[in-house]
Structure 1
Amino acid sequence: MKVLLISEGTYPFYGGGISTWSHMLCDRVTNVDFTLYSINAGFEKEPIFELSENVKKVIQVPLWAPDEPQDYVSFSREYYKVVSKKENTSPEVIQKHFVPIFKKFLDLLYSDSENMEALDFVFRSMWEYFKDYDYKETMKSEEVWRVFQEEAIQETEAGGVEATLFDLTVGLRWLYRFLIPFSIAIEKVDVSHITLSGFPLIPALVLKYRYGTPLMITEHGVYVRERLLYINRSDYSYFIKVFLIKLTECITRLSYYKADKILSVNKFNITWELMYGADRDKVEITYNGVDHERFVPREKPEHLKGIPTVVAVARIFELKDVLTMIRSCAVVMKKIPNVQYLVYGDKNAVPEYTAECEALIEELNLGNNFFLKGFHSQPHLIFSEGDISILTSISEGFPFTVLESMSCGIPVVATDVGGVSEAIEEGTGFVCKPRDPEAIGSKVVELLTNNELRMEMGKKARQRVIDNFTLDIFIKSYENIYESVYAQSLNK
């Protein structure tokens, strides 16, 4: 069976939970040959993962690097197709064949329409158009700019807000980049599998429109929720915020509408999925799993013995809310002055956020207590450094770091987001309200000062992983789901 696994900004070129999940899937599933379709901001030279023999091909689509995807096409027969499409794409063709489609898309977008049949028709019409005509010539044409400007100005006038020329330029530029995959042909596969309900949908639509390929979604963190959090916190203008929110909600609804199977890594996500139109009969919970034979209890390193130690594995960016973690350390230090927080994870994901974290560490005089350690190449060895582990995210799916810590017999203090409380049941760790450093800090103190409780929770945590969240359970679930989705498509 052939599966196209479509990701955005993750596997195989970047780390993080979705990349961990993707790598385990590609490495362990035995009945599938994978093609990776990796949507990234720029072109990446080498994967950071050693790809298994199950991965037969990697397609990289750098949305923001080239002027157009065809920049990567060699001087071959394919090149002449590109030239022919350019020559055929005249202003008259754009005005007659594309502008009506594009206008309908903008009408649906700005009206908050939940008419997914109409939106699906528009997206299919775009795909059919770009089979014959050039993407760049069309999307950068005066005709497209004019209709985008007219629709956007009409929308902003109705809302009493003026859109600047900069706003309009940025809005159309984003659309240009996001829709690039419509112009890229993809080889036939048996199943397409997207890792979030966002713009990875578009290559999956190309396959569904051309071949009827069934589509699976695995929802980790809720894409639409995380995007709304990000957009609302941003410094974008009002016009851009509204535009991005509508675009996000539009693509999320269509993702659920077109999916043949929606896999949620927790129960929490389902509320959001149903809110945005998912068919409950298509939704299934499939929990993540970890290798409990690799993530095992180990002796604490000699240099840390006697030091109350809290470990964390987290990329340093806003959703992990490392600022709250730092503030919780200040709370703990009042009771345990020699406490150490060791945080492992990429410090370069959002450099300005890392700088903010470093400034807070200095401001709170935590230079001898809180350490941003950067990337660690052997995650299975991290948790033995700590007496407990911590997670302070404001959004999660079903976090691997929680499962990995539990598998190592290290109890977790974590925030109650996503599926965290589904992993940490009573007696295996503590779950706290997000953005509450006092509550989080008090639970850290409770575990660090009560050896008996900590050891008991650690044993129960590992047993919970062995009973419910092993890698074998996870892989067998996906092998069965791939077979089922493909078989159902043959019967349609």
Structure 2
Amino acid sequence: MPPKIAIVEEGGFPVDIGGVSTWVKELVQGLKDFEFTVVTITTREKTNFMFKVPKGIEVKVHVLFSRKWRTKGNPMAFRDVASSLKELFLGEGIRLERLVSSTIKTDPTSFLSSREFWFMAKNVYEELDLKEGFIEFAYGLARIFHPILESIMLGGELKGFDLIHSANAGLAGLVGSAAKVKWGIPLVITEHGSFLRELDIWLERAEEKVWLKELLRKVMNSVVKTNYLYADVIASVSESLMRNQIRLGVPREKLLLIRNGIDASRYGKRSRVGSSGSQKDFRSQSWSRFEENFVEAAKAHSEECEEVLVVTISRVDKVKGIDLLARAAALVLSSGMKLNFEVIGPISDRKYMEEILSLIRELRISKYFKILGTTDVKKALSKADIFVLPSRSEGCPFALLEAMATGLPIIGTDVGGVPEVLGDAGILVRPEPKEIALAIEKLAKDAELRRKLGKNARERVLSNFQLEEMINSYRNLYLSLVGEKKWSSSA
């Protein structure tokens, strides 16, 4: 039997579209000499598969807050869980042995309604000297701890695997850490972006009390550092992420650089220069009617426009900076230039989507700025003249690699691993509307510069970001951890 690998992720393949989903899909398709199970953590009770699952790949979808666990726990286990959870407020990594052994003897709901939890909550409440009511505080605490306890319970069920590969250092990492503590299974963590940086961006917008945001920040900081502690190897997708991980206390010898890669032969056919053309079949069947209506209206306008087309491939989320692109578009259009802008990708944050729609109306750019939803990425890129990545945080983005492989001139924000990917084959800007707008104007006015940068971008992908290299690097990493003896005996 081939080595059994569990890939643990939050959302992602096959229920969501995005960079992590692409990464998982490429791993399980490319490493056919391993047996994969994909464990997807989500909060959505109804999930549609957005990808066709390859034959032989098992998928387990775990919906947070919905499962009824068989165990009920006991006061002694409750006391140990409460004591261990309190350590997370220190913001540092903790030892998991007692927390894991006690948590799997109980269940989240029973613990969070126990006397032991309420005594712990009262103790923390008094230490913090908060002005909010205690009941509100305790329920806020329960909301933080419930998914943490569920992640530990889930890790306790991953018996029989030879390796756990977690796709972030948050809850997915905690599942892997718990499995390592319980079953002694080696753990690899790959971060595709800074979990804590993206948490901060989310917290800026969250409609929660300040004290609750601060508690969540401290607890998740502890979770991330704990996962770093238990990981055998942390595979970083960029040197920027590696530096950040070292700042958070990860020993250099535990880190391994494995950049993302793509099959560039799948890209590169440009179907237009200067014309947006028609857009067809841009809807995901899982969208709400609101989203469908918006996309239909966007398509109708898109088919009328014939100017230079600026595209980004991104989920609609503040981390991805769609608001920055909208404001940049307004600046460009106000100068008299007639460009079209299209955002291709799923809507992951409905509230943010509504804010973007309101911003587009406020800026009076509705005719030129469209959010078209999920579609064939290669087709969308082939129709573009300029690609913009306006993100506030990134690791080694697949969307950027795909645009480069298509031969598009690139404007990317100077965040995370973007400078490492882009090099001198594009224009780097700060994540600010004015700088993005100036770069767009520069490329829109200079067709020869667009051609030159597009050529350089494709050549850079071919030289540095090949899928085969990524797959081989993970194969070698897996073999080093599961052991050559086991591999040779199963071959």
| Whole-angstrom CA distance in 1 between matches of 2:9 and 2:44 | 14
| Whole-angstrom CA distance in 1 between matches of 2:109 and 2:443 | 62
Question: Post-superposition shift, 1:69?
Answer: 3.8
Q: Paired residue for 1:356?
A: 355
Mapping for residues 41-440 of structure 1, pairs under 5 Å: 41-55=43-57, 57-64=58-65, 66=66, 68-70=67-69, 82=70, 85-86=71-72, 89=73, 93-94=74-75, 96-106=76-86, 108-112=87-91, 114=92, 116=93, 119-120=94-95, 123-131=96-104, 133-136=105-108, 138-157=110-129, 161-162=131-132, 164-184=134-154, 185-300=157-272, 304=276, 307-347=307-347, 349-376=348-375, 378-426=376-424, 428-434=425-431, 436-440=432-436
| Whole-angstrom CA distance in 1 between matches of 2:307 and 2:119 | 64
Query: Does the 8 Å CA contact 1:196/1:223 hold for their aligned counterparts?
Result: yes
Question: Post-superposition shift, 1:136?
Answer: 4.4
Q: Identify if the C-alpha distance between structure 1 residues 437 and 303 changes in structure 2 by more than 3 Å, giving closer, same or farther.
A: closer
Please list every run of 5 or more consecutive structure 2 residues that lacks an aligned counterpart in the other structure. 278-305, 487-491
| Whole-angstrom CA distance in 2 between matches of 1:179 and 1:231 | 21
| Whole-angstrom CA distance in 2 between matches of 1:230 and 1:454 | 34
2:265 aligns to what SS in structure 1? coil
The number of equivalent residue pairs is 455
| Whole-angstrom CA distance in 1 between matches of 2:308 and 2:273 | 12
Q: Identify if the C-alpha distance between structure 1 residues 330 and 42 changes in structure 2 by more than 3 Å, giving closer, same or farther.
A: closer
Moved more, 355-364 or 246-255: 355-364
Query: Does the 8 Å CA contact 2:274/2:385 hold for their aligned counterparts?
Result: no
Question: Post-superposition shift, 1:450?
Answer: 0.8
| Whole-angstrom CA distance in 2 between matches of 1:365 and 1:199 | 41
| Whole-angstrom CA distance in 2 between matches of 1:199 and 1:372 | 30
| Whole-angstrom CA distance in 1 between matches of 2:360 and 2:146 | 41
Question: Post-superposition shift, 1:488?
Answer: 8.5
2:226 aligns to what SS in structure 1? helix
Q: Identify if the C-alpha distance between structure 1 residues 203 and 451 changes in structure 2 by more than 3 Å, giving closer, same or farther.
A: same
- Counterpart amino acid of residue 103 in structure 1: S
Question: Post-superposition shift, 1:317?
Answer: 1.2
Q: Identify if the C-alpha distance between structure 1 residues 130 and 361 changes in structure 2 by more than 3 Å, giving closer, same or farther.
A: closer
Question: Post-superposition shift, 1:324?
Answer: 0.9
Q: Does 1:485 align with 2:481?
A: yes
Moved more, 275-284 or 229-238: 229-238
- Counterpart amino acid of residue 171 in structure 2: F
Question: Post-superposition shift, 1:153?
Answer: 1.2
Question: Post-superposition shift, 1:388?
Answer: 0.8
- Counterpart amino acid of residue 170 in structure 1: G
Question: Post-superposition shift, 1:221?
Answer: 0.6
Q: Paired residue for 1:77?
A: none
Deviations 1:41-82 (A, max 9, x none): 033444211111251x22221113x2x343xxxxxxxxxxx3
Q: Paired residue for 1:74?
A: none
Q: Identify if the C-alpha distance between structure 1 residues 336 and 32 changes in structure 2 by more than 3 Å, giving closer, same or farther.
A: farther
- Work out the percentage of aligned pairs sharing the same amino acid: 26
Question: Post-superposition shift, 1:126?
Answer: 2.8
2:266 aligns to what SS in structure 1? coil
2:37 aligns to what SS in structure 1? strand
1:179 aligns to what SS in structure 2? helix
Q: Paired residue for 2:13?
A: 11
Please list every run of 5 or more consecutive structure 1 residues that lacks an aligned counterpart in the other structure. 71-81
Question: Post-superposition shift, 1:182?
Answer: 2.7
Deviations 1:295-315 (A, max 9, x none): 113221795375211011111
Question: Post-superposition shift, 1:419?
Answer: 0.7
TM-score (norm 1): 0.87
| Whole-angstrom CA distance in 2 between matches of 1:238 and 1:432 | 32
Q: Identify if the C-alpha distance between structure 1 residues 479 and 411 changes in structure 2 by more than 3 Å, giving closer, same or farther.
A: same
| Whole-angstrom CA distance in 1 between matches of 2:113 and 2:9 | 29
Question: Post-superposition shift, 1:137?
Answer: 6.0
2:328 aligns to what SS in structure 1? helix
1:153 aligns to what SS in structure 2? helix
Deviations 1:71-98 (A, max 9, x none): xxxxxxxxxxx3xx44xx4xxx41x343
| Whole-angstrom CA distance in 1 between matches of 2:322 and 2:103 | 44
TM-score (norm 2): 0.88
